């Protein structure tokens, strides 16, 4: 197909003309040529190196460049329409809920000039749904902490579950106490807002109960809706991004929301522990000892190392269901961000096959994950003199991301493969970078969805 030109002839797009404009076709480079209709040239880089990342970044740049246009006709640069749609929708995202001058964004009609087939229709559908799942996570992370409290997050999760066919169960403070979730209860003591724990379940079609049980994957997402540091109060400069300390839970919710649309073939459970970490009411003190769900005792050496406490309880709950594997995701340590920067998340685990499969899924999804070790020699550093474990190793700044990984590992039952994603550096973006815009990135949604939908149906 070709666009219908009206009013003026098509512009000269010869190599000589383009050379005169300075347009080099680099990834994300945009050149707008006046006329009726306007022609927009989009760079996707050398054809030999045009991969998913290039298409995604280029489509995102196009979305930002043509935001003012109400109707577009796009010649896809390649056959990967799913990635094109995904990048376009992610790149055009803006969080304007609290902008008084934002108004209602006008509708934009986008036509892809390609042959319509069942495969192309499916690609467009999947790209849109996957992008919507990421935008769901971004919206949650961008919400102010006063608006997205633990109960409010739980309500959002219940609404998403109802809309996408997920099973949902919400535990209030009394149920959390009855279930002996000492870490979640301990952290929540400092907040005037009660905690919640959300359990979600995805059941694939045409799957027997026995097949579900043997093939189930469990996800755990950290959900600290605002982290002031508890009694180990953060300095003001460090508080600005602390509404994003629930980005792990948001990523899990986003990934769960799209499993049905992507025809995921394995059953998935998700556990979202939700709380604030505040210095109000009766906060945990340094030196206190908490008893976790599995009976492990933890000495509090730093009240701002709270994420691993609530994750520990959720990991125990996940392990009790006997899943094939457990994957957790959390904004856990600044050390991970220092080591890997703002574009790559840390990946640790006890099973090489699981770690490698996650890393490959992240690469395909445009969310790179880099494996870090869990040396056995470091394990004694999380032992306590008065309890079983410490939640933070005092006196060292070295290897703290790995020590946090070791702490979480203590709460995974032996024999169950486990992986941990530390997204501290990747949850927020300070500027525009490919499909990222300033604010929440929704990192983890695509990697988890890619991993889960790539798993084969478990044998019956």
Contact status, residue 342 vs residue 254, Cβ threshold 8 Å: no
Q: Which of 180, 213, 234, 409 is catalytic?
A: 234
Question: CA separation (Å) from 123 to 170, 301, 335, 337?
Answer: 34, 50, 38, 34
Q: Which of 129, 196, 308, 342 is catalytic?
A: 308
Contact status, residue 54 vs residue 26, Cβ threshold 8 Å: no
Question: CA separation (Å) from 94 to 66, 142, 313?
Answer: 14, 10, 35
Sign of CA dihedral 201, 206, 211, 217: negative
Annotated catalytic residue 343: no
Closest to 389 (Cα-Cα) out of 271, 450, 301, 264: 301
Contact status, residue 168 vs residue 157, Cβ threshold 8 Å: yes
If you search the block for the tokens 């009206």, which residue do you land on? 6
Contact status, residue 161 vs residue 272, Cβ threshold 8 Å: no
H or E element in which residue 251 lies: helix 247-258
Q: Residues with Cβ < 8 Å from 36, sequence gap 6 or more? A: 5, 6, 7, 8
What DSSP line would sit under 363-395, residue for residue?
HHHT--EEE----GGGGGGGB-SSSSEESS-TT
Task: Count CB atoms within 10 A of the CB of residue 341.
Answer: 12
Output the six-digit token pair for 94: 């803006």
Strand partners, 269: 201, 218
Helix, strand or coil, per DSSP, at residue 227 = strand
Annotated catalytic residue 174: no
Contact status, residue 407 vs residue 391, Cβ threshold 8 Å: yes
Q: Which of the residues are catalytic? A: 234, 308
């Amino acid at each position: 197909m070709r666009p219908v030109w009206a009013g003026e002839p098509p512009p000269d797009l010869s190599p000589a003309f383009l050379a005169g404009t300075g347009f080099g076709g680099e990834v994300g480079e945009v050149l707008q040529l006046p006329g009726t209709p306007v022609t927009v040239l989009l760079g996707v880089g050398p054809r030999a190196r045009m991969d998913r990342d290039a298409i995604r970044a280029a489509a995102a740049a196009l979305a930002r460049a043509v935001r003012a246009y109400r109707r577009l006709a796009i010649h896809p640069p390649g056959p990967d329409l799913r990635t094109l749609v995904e990048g376009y929708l992610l790149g055009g995202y803006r969080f304007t809920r609290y902008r008084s001058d934002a108004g209602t964004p006008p509708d934009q009609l986008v036509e892809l000039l390609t042959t319509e087939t069942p495969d192309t229709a499916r690609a467009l559908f999947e790209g849109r749904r996957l992008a919507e799942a990421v935008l769901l996570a971004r919206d949650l992370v961008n919400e102010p902490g006063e608006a997205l409290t633990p109960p409010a997050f739980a309500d959002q999760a219940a609404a998403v579950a109802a809309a996408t066919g997920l099973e949902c169960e919400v535990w209030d403070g009394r149920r959390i106490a009855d279930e002996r979730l000492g870490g979640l209860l301990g952290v929540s003591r400092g907040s005037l807002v009660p905690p919640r724990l959300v359990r979600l379940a995805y059941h694939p079609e045409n799957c027997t109960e026995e097949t579900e049980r043997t093939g189930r994957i469990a996800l755990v997402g950290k959900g600290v809706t605002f982290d002031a540091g508890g009694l180990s109060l953060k300095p003001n400069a460090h508080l600005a991004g602390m509404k994003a300390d629930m980005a792990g839970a948001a990523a899990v919710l986003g990934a769960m929301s799209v499993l049905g649309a992507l025809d995921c073939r394995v059953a998935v459970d998700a556990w979202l522990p939700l709380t604030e970490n505040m210095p109000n009411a009766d906060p945990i003190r340094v030196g206190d000892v908490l008893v976790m769900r599995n009976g492990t005792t933890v000495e509090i050496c730093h009240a701002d190392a709270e994420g691993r406490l609530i994750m520990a309880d959720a990991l125990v709950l996940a392990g009790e269901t006997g899943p094939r594997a457990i994957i957790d995701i959390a904004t856990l340590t600044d050390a991970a961000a220092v080591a890997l920067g703002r574009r790559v998340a840390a990946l640790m685990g006890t099973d090489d096959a699981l770690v490698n499969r996650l890393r490959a899924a992240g690469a395909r999804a445009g969310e790179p994950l880099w494996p870090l070790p869990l040396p056995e020699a470091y394990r004694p550093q999380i032992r306590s003199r008065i309890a079983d474990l410490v939640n933070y190793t005092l006196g060292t700044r070295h290897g703290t991301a790995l020590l946090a990984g070791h702490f979480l590992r203590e709460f995974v039952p032996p024999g169950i493969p486990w992986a941990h994603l530390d997204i501290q550096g990747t949850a927020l973006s300070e500027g525009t970078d490919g499909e990222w815009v300033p604010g929440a990135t929704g990192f983890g949604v695509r990697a988890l969805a890619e991993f889960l939908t790539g798993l084969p149906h478990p044998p019956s």
